Amino acid sequence: MRIGILGAAKIAGTSLVRPARNVGDVTVAAIAARNPARASRYATRHGIPVTYSSYEELLDDSSLDAVYIPLPNALHGRWMARALESGKHVLCEKPFTANADEASDIAALAEKTRLVVMEAFHYRYHPLSERILDILASNEIGEIRSIDTVFCVPMPPSSRNIRWNYELGGGSMMDLGAYAAHMVRTFSGEEPAVVSAKARVHDVTIDRYLRAELAFPSGANGSMTVAMWSSTIFSLRLDIVGRRGRMRVSRPLSPQFFARIVTTTDAGRRVERTTRRPSYEFQLEAFRDALDGGPNLTPPADSVATMTLIDAAYRAAGLPLRLPA
C-alpha cells in the first residue's frame, strides 16, 4: 500500500509515518501542504520521497493507493469526498466530519465508490479494546447498568491551536468527545440518547468543557465528560458498572501508555495490563488489510452514528453544530 498525507500535521508523524516503519507492505510515499516549504521540511524530516504544493496534485498521483487525512475537522469531509472521487482509499482522523449530515454524505459516497474509508479511532484496533469486549461478553460483571467516560487533558486556549477555532470545527466534544462518543457506543453495543448536557465555553461557540448525560435502550445510563481546559487537570478513564461487578479502564485512548483494566466482582479484584505496542501500528495494519477485504471496525456507517451523538450533545448544551469549512 502506497499512501500519501494531506497536510503537514504534527500528528501524522505519530499516527502514520513512524508506524509505517514497523508495518509491512506500507510506504508513506508522498505529502502535500499548502505551504511548499513546509511540505519539503516535513518530507526531509520524515524521509518522505515526494512532495506536492497542493492537495489536488497529490490526489491526482495515480501511483498512490490511499490517503491519510489529518486536516482540521471542518475540512475532513471536503477532502474525503475529493479523495474518493479520485479513486483513493481513505484513513481519516477523528472526528469523521463536521457534523452528522456531512458524515451521511461521505458514507453514501463511500458506498457508491466501494472504496475503504476508515475513521482513525486507533484505540479500537488495539488488543485492549478486544479484551474489554471479551470481559463484557463473558457476562463476568453482568448486564451493563452504567457506562461513563471522563477524558480531560489540559490544552490552554490559543489562537495557534485549531481545537479552539469554531470555523475549523474545534471544541472539546469534537476532540476528546469523539473518543467518548465512540467508546460509549462501542462498549455498550447500543445507541444512546442524550438526556441533557452542560457546557462551559471559552467564547460563545467553543466548549472548553462539556458533560452529557445519556440513556440507553436497555435501561442503562451513562455520561460523557470531556474538557480541554477545566478544574480537572488530567483524567482518562472508562467506567462500566454491571449487575454483578464493575470495570475501570485507565488510559483507554492510548493503551500503550500503561493502560490497565481493573475488574471487581464478588470473586475479587483483577488487574490486567496490555501490550506496549502502539495502537497506531495495529490501526495501520488493519487499514492495509481492509484494502484486501479485511474487517473495517470503524467504517462510515459507524462514523455517522458517532457524529449523530456528538451533534445531540451540542444541541442539548445549547451550542451550535460544527459546520464544514
Q: Hey, CA dihedral for 154, 9, 18, 293, is it positive or negative?
A: positive
3-state secondary structure of 21: coil
User: Helices 172-188 and 300-316 sit at what angle, rounded to 10 degrees?
Assistant: 120
CA-CA distance, 100 to 24, in Å (whole number)?
34
With 0-12 CB in 10 A as exposed, 13-18 as middle and 19+ as buried, what is 129? buried
Q: Hey, CA dihedral for 102, 107, 112, 117, is it positive or negative?
A: positive
Active-site residue, from 10, 88, 94, 112:
94
Q: Show Cβ contacts of residue 188 under 8 Å, excluding neighbours closer than 6 positions.
A: 144, 147, 216, 218, 220, 222
Residues found in the chain: 325
- Please indicate whether residue 88 is annotated as part of the active site: no
| Strand partners of residue 238 | 149, 249
CA-CA distance, 226 to 152, in Å (whole number)?
5
What residues are annotated to the active site? 94
